[in-house]
Structure 1
Amino acid sequence: MGRADARNARKRAARPSGIRRFFTWKKLLGAFFGFVLLIMGAFVVLYMVIEVPEGNPDAKLQSNVYKYGDGTTMARTGEVNREIVDLSEVPKEVQHTFVAAENKTFYKDKGVDLKGTARGVLNTVTGKGKQGGSTITQQYVKNYYLTQDQTVTRKLKELVISLKVDRKKSKDEILAGYINTSFYGRSAWGVQAAAQAYYNVDASKLSVEQGAYLAALLQAPNQYDWAIATDTGKALAKQRWNYVLDNMVDMHWISASERQGMKFPVPKEPKAAAGLQGQEGYLYTAAKAEVIKELKITEAQFDAGGYTVTLNIDRKKQKQLEKSVKQQLTGKLHPKSDKTDADVQAGAVSVDPKTGKILAMYGGSSISEHWVNNATRTDYQPASTFKPIILAAALENNAETQRGQSINANTIYDGTNKRPVVDDGKKVGFAPPNEDDESYGPVTVQTAMNKSVNSVFAQMGADVGMDQVMATAKKLGMDGADLKPYAAQTLGTMGASPLEMAGVYATLDNHGRQVTPQIVKSVSKQGEELQLDDAIGEQVLSRGAADSVTSVLTGVVDDGTARESVRNNTARDGQKVAGKTGTSDCNRSAWFTGYTPDLVTSVGLFGEAAESGTTRCGTDEPVQVKKGGHVSLSGAGGGGRVNGGGFPAQIWAQYTFNSSSTSAKFDLDTDMGAGVAPTTTAPATPTTPPSSPSTPTAPPSSSTPPPSTPTTPTAPPSTTTPPSEPSDPETTPTDPTSPPWGGIPEDPGDGIANGRGDDG
């Protein structure tokens, strides 16, 4: 063989044969670089094609949070227990616990961990399941923009979107999104809900130790939850907690000495989520309605979540109001064995007249048992609690009697039972009875208010003009659609709520400056405070008129229908009180609305049929009534008629005298002192109607000697002889500075009637 043949033979021997000739190192290297270029090209295409999507709707869901005035959480509502907070509300050291737990390079990296992502993709392809190691940015992208699906497509999207998000958003925005969208166990989404669930504090109050535990939870929320963890789970939780704090030392976020002194913060036992039980349900519904009205939003917008609503409710006063209702009313009823007791519903509202804050509210037995809030319902008559509005309208408009006499506390009216109302010399077709058909004869306005004499205020309404009376009612805060100017409205036959009446009397207490009671102290959405209207408005009634009414209403307590429950209450301790009782037609409602210089409270009792059946009004034939219909309160609690001076005034007194200890006096700008001194003896007064009820009873002589001021009035001698030659509906004493002329029988109770002669 020649040399050429030998060389060729060696070349053939060195050349790869078979499949080896296709995998030379040059070809492999070329293929590798080609693959890399292909991947890079594909990634560039993906980067250009994949846009940052809108946030995942589920990640935006929040609960609405309701808090008491002292900041404690009252209730949470919504599908997801999440309250998004601004990062500035989370202490800096607590922010660092999450970075130390999940991604120490967070503040320096570009938002992705290529090695971790590659492992995740490989494990997904090979079926090995979930793989950790993602950056905080990637986890935020997964929570907020994508889903929890374990697919190659989702992981590639996560990578691309994370890079873009890191470029578009600041690290603080990303960290805030991460801690607000993560799940911490105990049904808590986000750091704020987690702080409440595990330590019963807001995120702003978390310590470093507590923050480290919450950060540790994110790795395995259920396994690390101290309340349900096994011994192994607790050991792992502590190990993870130590890991977080040690990383913080490494990052120089806390010192070694600080770390040394830290102890594991054992979480509190889980409790039922704050919800809508008992009175809290009524408070929630009232607050929700107020927010929707104030912010002019729809219910759907509000229910989408994210609102933090702080109420004005004072927890101590709220508990005292609930206790008073129980001890003075519900604890004395037997609804299971007594049908009438089962028909009793109570509602109450307590307001600070200087600020308009609703400090306490009683809506009923429980919202789960009785959905309607008795404190805000407007379907029952306020009865004689409306009478002070008639007097306010008279004073504000400088109204005069039919004879041209100015109306004030000393003006004398004819209190004869069923006396026809006269306007401009003509009967108006309305002749209301007094309670129990009692006739009082000539009485002062003060005494008429004390005794709640219907015939007097029916005539006063005509003297003022019912259009003026209704206009005054609206100015003072009544807002019903049934404020029509007809004569029977003087008996309080329109609908009203304890909330409305508390506002009316608060305006009187506030010297005529309008008070619109507010249950909401503040409302924010994701940390942004939203503007609410001021509870204190403009002067809607002159101070003189408002203060004069207050002066007169002190007489109802000192010498009228509320004296037994309020004036003589042993807990009163000298407190100054003004107020008015009321009981509506057929005893379907009973009221006491009263106030001290610093607290106004309206209490209403309502007869509401617990089940379908029959009801009767006086001697009328029984009528069918459906469940929820209006029925009489008579007989409730084992007694007869339920007067405003009974259960309502008793509830009011126990609550007020245990909630307000002020001894301040009313600062009244008025010379009408008639409401302070009780009425005493006077000349004989008829107790039976005069022969011609359409004509007035003559006033006493101005020479009548001034009475002394005993603590209780003395009944005048009875006579069956009507006064001679009555001529006008009412007159005033010749000497307007003389004391009120009385001659009134002993207190028969507080009476109203819509043709029935019930309590007013």
Structure 2
Amino acid sequence: MGRAEERRARQRGGHRAAPKRRRPEPTAGGKPAKSLIRRMFTWKKILGTFFGVCLLGILAFIGLYLYVDIPEGNAAAQQQSNVYKFSDGTVLARKGEVNREIVDLSKVPRKVQLTFVAAENKSFYSDSGVDFKGTARGLINTALGRGKQGGSTITQQYVKNYYLNQDQTVTRKLKELVIALKVDREKSKDDILAGYINTSYYGRNAYGIQAAAQAYFHVDAEDLKVEQGAYLAALLQAPSQYDWAVATDIGKRLVTERWNYVLDNMVEEGWLSKAKRDAMHFPKIKEPKGAPGLGGQKGYLVELANQQLEQQLMAQEGLTQSQAENAVVDKGWTITLNIDRKKQAALENAVRTQLTGKLDGKKRKVDDAVQAGAVSVDPETGKIVALYGGKDYYKHYVDNATRRDYQPASTFKPVILAAALEQNATTQDGKPITASTVYDGTSRHQVLDHGSRVGFAPPNEDDVDYGEITVQEAMNKSVNSVFAQMGVDVGMDKVMSTAGKLGMNTKGMQAVPAQTLGSMGASPLEMAGIYATFANHGYKVTPTIVKSAESKSRSVEMPNPVGGSVISRTAADTVTSVLTGVVDDGTAKKSVASNPLRDGQQVAGKTGTSDENKSAWFTGYTPDLVTSVGLFGEDPETKAHVSLRGATGLLPPPGRINGGGYPAQIWAAYTFGVTDKATFDLNTTQGAAVAPTETPTYSQTPTRTPSQTPSSAPPTSKSPTQTPSRTPSQTPSQTPSQTPSRTPTTGPPTAPVTEDPLDPDDDFGQ
């Protein structure tokens, strides 16, 4: 019996027949017909399509190659003046003189030439002028908007610098590819290398290797040493970031690594012996000189505007730092700044009358070491309305307003309080940290972490013991021991996290108790941003100097300087409330509260004086203006950090420049001359600006009693039953946000302060 008969027999026996599978209708040849998808996507069609696309791509590239000619190169003619304007549209400066001197390659030592090849394109002498893999990757990423591109050969970079521009578009990259191939065929490698090193931008307004050699080493290109050439080659990756005179610690580390990379590549390629390489040391970089036409404060304003525009181009268009600098410097931009012409003049005048007019380097050597920097910000908009970068851009190239190499000292204490309030932190014995919490203010009090010593016991200024003291009073008097303990109570990781959210660059900073003394580096620009965030009720303020920027081909939209909330309004407003006590009853009282120009203006702020008196600060604000003023001791020859003691003729003991002295005097002379009387709108029930609603909260038993104090007339400690902080002269209404307009706590106006008062605010880092 066959299989068909067996199946039919089973079906007759009651078994259900299996369903018949539908077969495709047979074709004319008897084979089943294919599905639509299989008919559309056959291997022959897929391969045919692939080769067709490749053929079209090849034909398109051939057409592009035939169509695109090498354009006339005239890089110098492409340079245009940038115009910088004040916020009201009046011209601040024009900058556009091209600092370039073309030199023949024969004038550049052979091994110096090779440093550039080692840095950028080791296969330069053997390749066709194009890195096809890198270019393809760049084209794809550009088309997808993925940001900065790399992988260009020296020939491609030369083409971009000399024949094209820095635009990140697919069209420009295709042109670069074609022109690079043609240039490589028509020019010698030496001509290409000469063009590359003569057209590249090296920072310091230097175009080309001759200008760069003069700018960084004060020698001609023909006199460059190999280690100097390696630095210039390394510099091209990020000219401003790698400029040793203004580089951060990270920038110095990166350029050193890049310098080593260049020399190591030369050894690898056989262009430099290992013995000579090992004997080389990082070259000494000469001090920069200001660009023509940018004397006084103009250069500082222009440089910060360029930097912020470059940062935006990097973020918006995916340029590298080097590409962004090439796209901005002398490229025909009209850049309007947020700088208010009247406020700028007022700030410069305040520094001159309150400080620099009293300096005399012929009488006192230390006077030549005094450097001042200041930044003034509108907290509601984030606009930088005034900036003081130093005595003169020609005489002091480093911008004191943006430098981050000095300690902010006690101006960091409000950040600790903000972290405590934001985290709802408690003391070691579980009591909430508020303005009324009582701490042990004993000098050198051992900081404890739940009973364990953390190995940190900072002294107070002049080693004064305050005994039991509230947080409000500790802020007023800048008591180190209190805030060191508070930092551990909150958790230093949370303190540094809050600092980062408020705008401090905390990258690489350790979360250790010593940071409670403000022992990290910070700039007046950073501190102004942090305090502006307090003034703006916790909404992040990133101080911005550029109002608008446009060129012939494009305009750039700057980001909003005011962002979202980074700490709660209650926390921010409480910090403001507490800081009014520093002005009315604390370390800034003599210079700010008693200033005859104050006229009842409500003020919050904090003084700071760093270890060994190498820096002194006052960062303060009214409801509509935040200004941070810093004084820095810098040896005019070595640039080392030095003490400010004795400057302007202040005599020991102790003769120090405190934050409550000249910095606060500059702040008051400037601020009270440009602001209108206003009142803080505070949503808090804590701090000196509002009536206290709670009694002191004790944190722990002090290790010593208040009576153990130095004989040098220390402040007396209040009894715990007394009001924890001094209150305004008027009683506020029941609504916490409606605070009274404050008047000075002293009598009639007195003459301006002419000598630096001593305040208990010297921070001694451990």
Q: Aligned partners of 1:477, 1:435: CA distance in 2, in Å? A: 28
Q: How do 1:106-125 residues align onto structure 2 when only pairs under 5 Å count?
A: none
Tell me the alpha carbon deviations over residues 594-616 of structure 1, each in whole angstroms, 9 at most, x when there is no partner.
000000000000000123xxxxx
Q: Aligned partners of 1:493, 1:633: CA distance in 2, in Å? A: 17
SS in structure 2 of the partner of residue 508 of structure 1: helix
Asked if 1:429 is matched to 2:452, the reply is no
Tell me the alpha carbon deviations over residues 437-475 of structure 1, each in whole angstroms, 9 at most, x when there is no partner.
000000000000000000000000000000000000000
Q: From 483, 487, 492, give the equivalent of 2:509.
A: 483
Displacement after TM superposition at 1:676 (Å): 5.1
Asked if 1:285 is matched to 2:314, the reply is no
Q: From 648, 658, 663, give the equivalent of 2:663.
A: 648
Q: How do 1:330-369 residues align onto structure 2 when only pairs under 5 Å count?
A: 330-369=356-395
Q: From 643, 666, 688, give the equivalent of 2:708.
A: 688
Q: How do 1:499-518 residues align onto structure 2 when only pairs under 5 Å count?
A: 499-518=525-544
Tell me the alpha carbon deviations over residues 195-248 of structure 1, each in whole angstroms, 9 at most, x when there is no partner.
xxxxxxxxxxxxxxxxxxxxxxxxxxxxxxxxxxxxxxxxxxxxxxxxxxxxxx
Q: Aligned partners of 1:338, 1:283: CA distance in 2, in Å? A: 30
Q: Any runs of at least 4 consecutive aligned residues in structure 1 with deviations exceeding 4 A, and if so which?
A: 48-59, 675-679, 698-702, 704-711
Match of 1:672 in 2: 686
Displacement after TM superposition at 1:592 (Å): 0.1
Displacement after TM superposition at 1:510 (Å): 0.1
Match of 1:629 in 2: 640
Match of 1:303 in 2: 329
Tell me the alpha carbon deviations over residues 331-382 of structure 1, each in whole angstroms, 9 at most, x when there is no partner.
0110233101111000000000000000000000001000000000000000
Match of 2:597 in 1: 571
Asked if 1:390 is matched to 2:451, the reply is no
Tell me the alpha carbon deviations over residues 136-187 of structure 1, each in whole angstroms, 9 at most, x when there is no partner.
xxxxxxxxx9xxxxxxxxxxxxxxxxxxxxxxxxxxxxxxxxxxxxxxxxxx
Q: Aligned partners of 1:557, 1:402: CA distance in 2, in Å? A: 30
**Which amino acid in 1 is paired with 2:649?**
G
CA contact (8 A) 1:517 1:535 kept: yes
Match of 1:726 in 2: none
Q: Aligned partners of 1:75, 1:558: CA distance in 2, in Å? A: 41
Asked if 1:558 is matched to 2:591, the reply is no
CA contact (8 A) 1:554 1:676 kept: no
SS in structure 2 of the partner of residue 601 of structure 1: strand
SS in structure 2 of the partner of residue 600 of structure 1: strand
Note closer, same or farther for the CA distance 1:439–1:499 as it changes in structure 2 (3 Å cut).
Answer: same
CA contact (8 A) 2:472 2:725 kept: no
Q: How do 1:55-134 residues align onto structure 2 when only pairs under 5 Å count?
A: 57-79=75-97
- Aligned CA-pair RMSD: 3.1
Q: Aligned partners of 2:586, 2:460: CA distance in 1, in Å? A: 15
Match of 1:447 in 2: 473
The normalised TM-score by structure 2 is 0.57
Note closer, same or farther for the CA distance 1:707–1:480 as it changes in structure 2 (3 Å cut).
Answer: closer
**Percent of matched pairs sharing the same residue:** 61
SS in structure 2 of the partner of residue 278 of structure 1: coil
Q: Aligned partners of 1:641, 1:51: CA distance in 2, in Å? A: 68
Tell me the alpha carbon deviations over residues 576-632 of structure 1, each in whole angstroms, 9 at most, x when there is no partner.
100000000000000000000000000000000123xxxxxxxxxxxxxxx110000
CA contact (8 A) 1:582 1:750 kept: no
SS in structure 2 of the partner of residue 472 of structure 1: helix
Q: Aligned partners of 2:447, 2:98: CA distance in 1, in Å? A: 62
Structure 1, gaps ≥5 residues long: 1-47, 82-144, 146-272, 612-626, 691-697, 712-746
Displacement after TM superposition at 1:300 (Å): 2.0
CA contact (8 A) 1:295 1:532 kept: no
Displacement after TM superposition at 1:504 (Å): 0.2
Asked if 1:534 is matched to 2:569, the reply is no
Displacement after TM superposition at 1:51 (Å): 8.7
Tell me the alpha carbon deviations over residues 630-651 of structure 1, each in whole angstroms, 9 at most, x when there is no partner.
0000101111110000000000
Tell me the alpha carbon deviations over residues 692-739 of structure 1, each in whole angstroms, 9 at most, x when there is no partner.
xxxxxx99565x58999698xxxxxxxxxxxxxxxxxxxxxxxxxxxx
Q: Aligned partners of 1:397, 1:461: CA distance in 2, in Å? A: 12
Asked if 1:608 is matched to 2:634, the reply is yes
Displacement after TM superposition at 1:64 (Å): 1.6
Q: Aligned partners of 1:374, 1:427: CA distance in 2, in Å? A: 38
Q: Aligned partners of 1:282, 1:677: CA distance in 2, in Å? A: 44
SS in structure 1 of the partner of residue 760 of structure 2: coil
CA contact (8 A) 2:372 2:631 kept: yes
The normalised TM-score by structure 1 is 0.57
Asked if 1:372 is matched to 2:372, the reply is no
Displacement after TM superposition at 1:753 (Å): 2.5
CA contact (8 A) 2:635 2:641 kept: yes
Tell me the alpha carbon deviations over residues 39-65 of structure 1, each in whole angstroms, 9 at most, x when there is no partner.
xxxxxxxxx999996685554331222
SS in structure 1 of the partner of residue 484 of structure 2: helix
Structure 2, gaps ≥5 residues long: 1-65, 100-162, 164-290, 697-703, 711-716, 730-756
Note closer, same or farther for the CA distance 1:701–1:550 as it changes in structure 2 (3 Å cut).
Answer: closer
CA contact (8 A) 1:678 1:710 kept: no
Match of 1:583 in 2: 609
Corresponding pairs, count = 459
Q: Aligned partners of 1:558, 1:656: CA distance in 2, in Å? A: 16
Tell me the alpha carbon deviations over residues 678-705 of structure 1, each in whole angstroms, 9 at most, x when there is no partner.
99xx9x9624269xxxxxxx99565x58
**Which amino acid in 2 is paired with 1:397?**
Q
**Which amino acid in 1 is paired with 2:599?**
D
